[in-house]
A = this chain, B = another copy of it.
Amino acid sequence: MSDLHALPKDFIEELKALFGDRFSIAPAVLEHHGRDESSYPTLPPQAVVFANSTEEVAMLVKLCSLYEVPVIPFGAGTSLEGHVLPIQGGVCLDLNNMNQVLSIHPEDMLAVVQPAVRRKQLNAELKDTGYFFPVDPGADATLGGMCATRASGTNAVRYGTMRENVLALTVVAASGEIIKTGTQAKKSSAGYDLTRLFVGSEGTLGIITEITLKIYPHPEDIAAAICSFANVTEAVNAVIEVIQAGIPVARVELVDELAIRAINQYSKLSLIEKPTLFFEFVGSAQSLKEQAEFAQEIAKNNGGLDFEWATRPEDRARLWHARHNAYFACLQLQPGCRIINTDVCVPISKLAQCISETRQELDASWLKAPILGHVGDGNYHVLLAIDPNNPADLEEAERLNSGIVHRALQLGGTCTGEHGVGIHKMNFLVDEHGEGAIELMRSIKKALDPKNILNPGKIFKI
């Protein structure tokens, strides 16, 4: 970054002519577009452009291609892995003006949105239709960003991730050409799956400008349950049996004993300070009763210490209150701290071993490190609390993260379940896939973006 060239003057003049006051090099604007939720220092882009349409994105990308200037798409800025940092300089493409829900198709269970629509906004606009969009990462991210990182969240165990919930995309390719990757048909065998190639490509293969998403009817009824266990192994075994039994679990989250302690302190509760499962079941009122009874029996057989369940909205909210506040509660374990969030995912049969060994390693460290898990998917997060002013804390967090990742890889898992690679996990990616698969990804990148202008320097080295 130290020897970045200034942007070509002609390029700047053309951008000004095309975008007027939607082109900016004001320091405050650059600053705002140079950070995300990762622990990296702010790194401002050289310019910011606010595009209003797919056609404008195409114009910008054509210019960036002509002048060989990097272009980095930007939405909510909630990346945890440095995805939006312009590490090779260039123009930040702010897509936040493209924030319209374009159409809702209840009969086809689809919605078409612009990339900067946020997930909560989409659900607000769906509210009166009887449908909802289930993918729910922690942040109120943009749907374009969620596509780019193949995001998921607590509902993935039932509804899948962005991988399963994007039907088609409009994408601006590195040439500036506008591509549609699919139709509104629910399934297709018509050629390469371009949709899923762009989902998870982190802005390195094209700029997503329109998204066709699956939407789902609200479940007839919902039940919530919580149950604590003597240890993580028993809790995970209960989850495996519940899923194997075919009980329709919408969510099942694990909160470990340190996180429960944080919640008790934060919310003045007196939950048993043991690994605890938070369940949500969906179905008809009658079937929910059957399911909850069956789940309770399974929990009990696996050493569940209690099992509380509820169907009335206010009772469900009370049960899940602790989980919903877990992140903020964990932040308060060490006031003023910053969180480094790990994101491994393993086959569920290996999850108990993986978390137990990780917990042991964490307990030997001075960092406070509660664990939250999307346990139905085998995905868990360690919230490594660091003092942002203490470099030793950051180093220790990275050491622990590296151990957590390599343990997951050894157990047949992945270095990232839902946050993506960005610049933070590039080395882990090679360990996970091997050089052959990375070379294959690299050759796709080179074929689709021969000048390396699309969010360069992310996922893998060129």
Contacts and interface: CB of A to CB of B under 8 A. Distances in A.
A183 B414 CA distance: 7
Contacts of A151: 189
Contacts of A130: 244
Interface stretch (A88-96, A156-164, A334-342): A156-164
A196 B181 CA distance: 14
A413 to B, nearest CB: 4
Nearest to A157: B186
Contacts of A412: 183-185
A178 B199 CA distance: 24
A45 interface: no
Nearest to A428: B190
A306 interface: no
Interface in A251-293: 283-284, 286-287, 290
Interface of A, secondary structure class, is: loop
A433 B187 contact: no
Given A193-B199, A287-B284, A110 B347 contact: yes
Contact of A414 (B188, B343, B378): B188
Contacts of A161: 187
Nearest to A379: B187
Interface stretch (A47-55, A314-322, A363-371, A418-426): A418-426
A7 interface: no
B179 A440 contact: yes
A18 interface: no
Interface in A168-220: 173, 177-194, 196-197, 199-201, 205, 217, 219-220
Contacts of A150: 187-189, 193
B105 A349 contact: yes
Given A180-B437, A244-B106, A193 B188 contact: no
B184 A437 contact: no
Contact of A444 (B182, B192, B196, B244): B192
A248 to B, nearest CB: 8
A193 B190 contact: no
A343 B348 CA distance: 37
Contacts of A201: 192
B246 A191 contact: no
Contacts of A343: 189
Contacts of A379: 185-187
Given A181-B437, A434-B180, A188 B284 contact: no
A97 interface: no
B107 A240 contact: yes
A194 to B, nearest CB: 6
Contact of A163 (B105, B193, B460): B193
B246 A219 contact: yes
Contacts of A290: 284, 286-287
Given A185-B413, A185-B414, A187-B345, A200 B193 contact: yes
A308 interface: no
A415 interface: yes
Nearest to A349: B107
A122 interface: no
Nearest to A416: B189
Contacts of A438: 191
A432 interface: yes
Nearest to A167: B347
Given A197-B193, A347-B110, A349-B108, A152 B246 contact: no
A377 B193 contact: no
Contact of A184 (B200, B244, B413): B413
A446 interface: yes
A63 interface: no
13 contacts: A163-B193, A178-B436, A183-B413, A185-B379, A185-B408, A185-B413, A188-B414, A189-B200, A189-B420, A189-B421, A191-B459, A192-B459, A219-B246
